[in-house]
């Protein structure tokens, strides 16, 4: 077993291991978006009202966001490869159960367990990447590959969801995960050595794990419940109150613990704090974007599932290309300039897309903004991930990985809830003013996309203020980062 108080010799299998880890992360991110295209088919199959279909997405996001920090710390303490393989197994079995579901309740339950598996495997996968690649140019290159593959998962989910739903039915979007998970479980022991943190005290922080997991889950539940029940409803307010109490308790527990789940000293690193705040806001804008865009293309433009998926292919390809280029740009320019440029493109693309009309076309109204958004997301997410794990000790690699995944998921749940509420409010207002239903719904989408652009602009401002400036210089021993 590789231990973290010894700097290992670079593993010759590390690039093959990266391919396996990136594939696993691709599937995790994919499953947060792939169901969007399949939702109309699921609704018809189970005769489920549209407002209840969001729980097929939310059940996954709820458990994914709630258990990520716990999953990250489990990886550090119990063994990163072991936890990764366990998460894969849970994810694959839940996908099988979801694909075989006979009713809406079974599907939602399976999606919740699937989110749990994702929360276990995602931070362990990223922490393995940070431990097998030393900080500097090589890690940045690895994280560029990671960002390209994982970032494309969110967009590719819409495309693959359309292809699979159209060809085989909605069940295929879940069943496709089963062989991937099986192959990954079989290959992991051959490509990845076991590693874990070597700490003076290996006690597992049960109180901290329980309060933060329950607190984040309550927060995400409150955000997703606000979509249907309203922000001032009793259930929503109770969930927020419970989240506040639990997270406050978590802070108290952690400050008193000799072996905390989340050592707050990690937030003294401006790169970690800035990256996580930027990811929260960018994730909020991104999740809302994909939900709105998928519904717009199917309900307003009349695309079928396959057409809606293909319409987002340019965005996906642009994202992969820009993420692939991000590593070289970071080496040349530093993390902060590349991140700010990516977020600026993202804001511009969302702002442009907010003018979509009810009689829009792919070429005239969607293609241009999609290219800007894809380029922006690729350039933004790679340096954000690099910043989130820069300067973090190897003993806390899983923690840092869990944090950046958690902020993305919580931000995504927040964005989805807020933007759906904004769209619904505007649609109701337009209908009350006498607008035709199709025009009223489009009005709601326009306002929601404008709000998403505003949220992405906040991410840009946060990154500009919080992330430290840097300059890179090459030395004989490798790459160093000098903070100005």
3-state helix, strand, coil split of the chain in percent (to 5) is: 80, 5, 15
Q: How far is 62 from 436, CA to CA, in rounded Å?
A: 35
* E-state strands within 111-263: 195-196
Residue with the bigger pLDDT between 107 and 9: it is 107
Instruction: Report the pLDDT averaged over residues 305-312.
Output: 80
pLDDT bracket for residue 5 (50, 70, 90): very low
Segment 143-166 mean pLDDT: 75
Neighbours of 450 (CB within 10 A): 17
Q: Which residue has the higher pLDDT, 447 or 10?
A: 447
Query: How much is the pLDDT for 97?
Result: 96
Per-residue confidence (pLDDT) for residue 483, from 0 to 100? 29
Say what the pLDDT of residue 6 is.
Answer: 45
Measured CA to CA, the distance from residue 278 to residue 347 in angstroms comes to: 13
Judged against a pLDDT cut of 70, whether residue 479 lies above it is answered with no
| Exposure on the CB side of residue 282, measured as CA atoms within 13 A | 37
pLDDT of residue 127: 85
**Is the model's pLDDT at 474 over the cut of 80?**
no
- Tell me the residue length of the chain: 484
* pLDDT reported for residue 1: 54
CA distance 225 to 235: 8
Which domains are delineated in the chain?
A: 11-204+259-483 (1.20.1250.20)
pLDDT at 227: 65
Pairing of strands 470-475, 478-483: antiparallel
Structural contact between residues 17 and 81, judged by C-beta atoms closer than 8 angstroms: no
Q: Read out DSSP for 95-134?
A: HHHHHT-SSHHHHHHHHHHHHHHHHHHHHHHHHHHHHHS-
Picking from 151-155, 219-223, 246-250, which range would have the lowest pLDDT averaged per residue?
151-155
pLDDT at 470: 64
Rg (CA), the chain: 21
Bridge partners of 470, per DSSP, are 483
d(CA 305, CA 141): 35
3-state secondary structure (DSSP) of residue 474: strand
- Provide the pLDDT for residue 446: 95
The whole-angstrom separation of Cα 200 and Cα 238 is 40
Quote the pLDDT of residue 476: 32
Q: How confident is the model at residue 9 (pLDDT cuts 50, 70, 90)?
A: low
């Amino acid at each position: 077993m590789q231990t973290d108080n010894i700097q290992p010799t670079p593993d010759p299998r590390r690039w093959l291991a990266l391919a396996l880890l990136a594939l696993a992360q691709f599937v995790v991110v994919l499953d947060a978006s792939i169901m969007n295209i399949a939702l109309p088919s699921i609704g018809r199959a189970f005769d489920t009202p549209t407002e209840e279909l969001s729980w097929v997405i939310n059940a996954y996001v709820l458990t994914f966001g709630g258990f990520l920090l716990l999953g990250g710390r489990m990886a550090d303490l119990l063994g990163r490869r072991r936890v990764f393989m366990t998460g894969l197994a849970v994810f694959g079995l839940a996908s099988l159960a979801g694909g075989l579901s006979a009713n809406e309740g079974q599907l939602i339950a399976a999606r919740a367990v699937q989110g749990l598996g994702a929360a276990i495997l995602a931070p362990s996968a990223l922490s393995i990447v940070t431990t097998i690649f030393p900080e500097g140019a090589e890690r940045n290159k690895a994280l560029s590959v990671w960002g390209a593959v994982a970032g494309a998962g969110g967009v590719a989910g819409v495309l693959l969801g359309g292809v699979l739903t159209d060809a085989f039915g909605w069940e295929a979007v879940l069943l496709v995960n089963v062989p991937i998970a099986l192959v990954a479980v079989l290959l992991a022991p051959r490509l990845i050595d076991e590693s874990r943190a070597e700490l003076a005290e290996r006690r597992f922080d049960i109180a901290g794990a329980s309060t933060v997991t329950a607190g984040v889950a309550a927060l995400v539940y409150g955000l997703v419940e606000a979509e249907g029940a309203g922000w001032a409803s009793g259930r929503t307010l109770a969930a927020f109150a419970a989240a506040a109490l639990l997270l406050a308790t978590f802070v108290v527990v952690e400050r008193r613990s000799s072996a905390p789940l989340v050592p707050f000293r990690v937030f003294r690193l401006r790169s970690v704090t800035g990256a996580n705040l930027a990811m929260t806001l960018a994730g909020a804008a991104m999740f809302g974007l994909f939900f709105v865009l998928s519904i717009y293309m199917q309900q307003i433009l009349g695309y079928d599932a396959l057409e809606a998926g293909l319409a987002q292919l340019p965005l996906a390809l642009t994202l992969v290309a820009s993420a692939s280029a991000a590593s070289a740009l970071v080496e040349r320019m530093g993390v902060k300039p590349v991140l700010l440029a990516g977020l600026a493109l993202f804001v511009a693309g969302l702002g442009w897309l907010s003018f979509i009309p009810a009689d829009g076309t792919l070429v005239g109204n969607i293609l241009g903004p999609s290219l800007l958004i894809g380029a922006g997301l690729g350039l933004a997410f790679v340096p954000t991930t690099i910043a989130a794990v820069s300067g973090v000790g190897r003993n806390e690699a899983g923690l840092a990985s869990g944090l950046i995944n958690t902020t993305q998921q919580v931000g995504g749940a927040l964005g989805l809830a807020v933007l759906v509420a904004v769209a619904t409010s505007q649609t109701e207002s337009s209908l009350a003013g006498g607008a035709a239903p199709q025009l009223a719904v489009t009005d709601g989408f326009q306002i929601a996309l404008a709000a998403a652009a505003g949220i992405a602009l906040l991410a840009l401002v946060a990154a500009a203020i919080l992330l430290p400036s840097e300059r890179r210089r090459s030395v004989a021993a490798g790459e160093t980062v000098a903070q100005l």
